[in-house]
Structure 1
Amino acid sequence: MGYGARAAIISDRRVTGLSADVISEFGAEVALLWHERHQARLESRSRKRAVGAGAKHRLVFIDRLLATLVHLRHGATHDVLVCWFGVDSSTIPRAIGEVRPLLAKRGCSIAGGIRLRTLAEVIDHLGASGQTGIIDGTETRVRRPQGSGEVHFPQEQAERRQGHGPHDARGRLLFCSPAQPASCADITHARQSGLVKHLANGPAVEILADAGYQGLGAQTGGRVLTPPHRKFKKNSPDWYKEIYERQRKAHSSRRIRVEHGIAHLKNWRALARHHGRRTT
């Protein structure tokens, strides 16, 4: 790709979803990790020529990064990226497969140069800063494979997969857990990710959650706060209805930022609908 086309992609935030400064930061940090991994792979096998000999990459790292960002942002197919970047049809899938794990290992950057990579680091950060965390799950549509004897359209019918991510009180993403099948409830997913263990053994923090996490409060010493449980399902007194609605709205107004954070993340096509392999 020419310099002018590369500069146009970087300068227009609508293409990659990131500012030029963030892309520059990615290029400086991830490029070093990619180069180290590439050199280690070359040195790990027996060679007849010195490392670095032979043909050079037609797709330099910054173009590999831009191709990955465009693919994640807009869900552009590999064929489109192949024509855009002017490389072989096997180059783009290989480049995306190399860059995506490196981006995932960076973790979530927050103010002050702090980067959180694990759930334990998130709990420690919230405890040290005295902030309130907000947790919620979201769903991503994926293609459903066509099984024997089934009559449906894989393009239209899709199962759900969920991922959970604590946010801070400002709605900034602090962590995103691996995806699980949609048959897994929110509270089960939280337990499997180790949230209960980290909260029980970690610092005293406050985590806001919706009704799908009711029960975690008792297991974490009251660290997880959920909406009040409705005691009267039928024929509840008027005074109770008023108190219940007031408490529910107060809790909802505090955790609404996590909904805004998830909506912002789903501007990325890869988080709105997944078209690749179900295992990834």
Structure 2
Amino acid sequence: MQLTWARAACSHPALTGVSRAHLGELLEELATVWDAARESELRQARGGPRRRAAGAGRKPKLVFADRLLATLVHLRHQLPHEVLAELYGVDRSTVSAAIRQVRPLLATRGFAVPDRPGLRLQTLEDLLAYAEAEGVEVRLDGAETQVRRPKAGHPGRRAFVSGKRKQNTIKTTTFSDGQGRMLLSGVVRPGRMHDQTAVRSEGIAEQLRLHPSVKTKVDSGYLGLAK
């Protein structure tokens, strides 16, 4: 019952940012890719072909449609994984795994450009070339999302502790236009990494130097970046 309610609520265009018709097309397109990738992963883990009929065994806590919805809502509104887990009635780690698995599928499609049907941005180079050609001011910001603390003994465990939020987080560098509409989302990194370090390690600073006419607006977390 809770899953049905959560699915109906999270599929609303105000939460996902896409119409229900577009959502259906997106689900149909990515489900095939997801099933193929999942089967390949399971085959590798088993070391051979399937031994039981399709559909046998333990049922997933979230079907692919719910995984996609949770990821879209998270990307659009930056809701913590814990909030989405409460909505779906599952553990936070289940939502974290779902988002981690679906994000790459969405990234391969690229980001739609507002008011430019058919144009999609897949890389930072695409984004800055578009901004330079259209005179778009790019807003740069680091978005943090709380996650479960890695297990004891996990390499780099302390790297997830955010100095600003004093919590275990992951951080992504997001790019939006002058109206705050997202154009691109960068690589997911541990929350302890400073915003400026993420910019340099992802090659963003170098790309900005290659496109000097692009105006970029940043917050105080990027002070000193111009140097």
Change (3 A) 1:138 1:92: closer
Q: One-letter code of the match for 1:215?
A: G
> Do residues 200 (structure 1) and 199 (structure 2) align?
no
Structure with greater proportional strand content: 2
> Do residues 25 (structure 1) and 25 (structure 2) align?
yes
Superposed CA deviations along residues 64-114 of structure 1, whole A, max 9, x for unmatched, are: 1234424756422698369xxxxxxxx999877654431343332113222
2: CA distance between counterparts of 1:95 and 1:170?
A: 29
Gaps of 5+ in 1: 83-90, 149-156, 219-280
Counterpart residue number, 1:85: none
Superposed CA deviations along residues 166-208 of structure 1, whole A, max 9, x for unmatched, are: 2111211122222334443322221111112112234631112
| Deviation at residue 135 of structure 1 after TM alignment | 0.9
Provide the identity percentage.
30
Secondary structure (helix, strand or coil) at the match of 2:89 reads: helix
Q: How many residues align?
A: 197
Counterpart residue number, 2:163: none
2: CA distance between counterparts of 1:48 and 1:36?
A: 13
> Do residues 174 (structure 1) and 190 (structure 2) align?
no
1: CA distance between counterparts of 2:186 and 2:196?
A: 13
Out of 102, 105, 117, which is 2:105 matched to?
102
Secondary structure (helix, strand or coil) at the match of 2:180 reads: coil
- The TM-score normalised by the length of structure 1 is 0.52
Q: What is the correspondence of 1:126-145 to structure 2 with a 5 Å cutoff? A: 126-144=131-149
Q: What is the correspondence of 1:32-111 to structure 2 with a 5 Å cutoff? A: 32-37=32-37, 47=49, 54-56=53-55, 63-70=63-70, 72=74, 74-76=83-85, 80=89, 98-110=101-113, 111=116
Q: One-letter code of the match for 2:19?
A: S
Counterpart residue number, 1:213: 222
Q: CA RMSD in A?
A: 4.5
Give the number of the structure whose alpha-carbon radius of gyration is greater.
1
Secondary structure (helix, strand or coil) at the match of 2:146 reads: strand
2: CA distance between counterparts of 1:210 and 1:94?
A: 30
Secondary structure (helix, strand or coil) at the match of 2:187 reads: coil
Superposed CA deviations along residues 199-237 of structure 1, whole A, max 9, x for unmatched, are: 22346311122333233334xxxxxxxxxxxxxxxxxxx
Q: One-letter code of the match for 2:65?
A: L
Gaps of 5+ in 2: 154-165
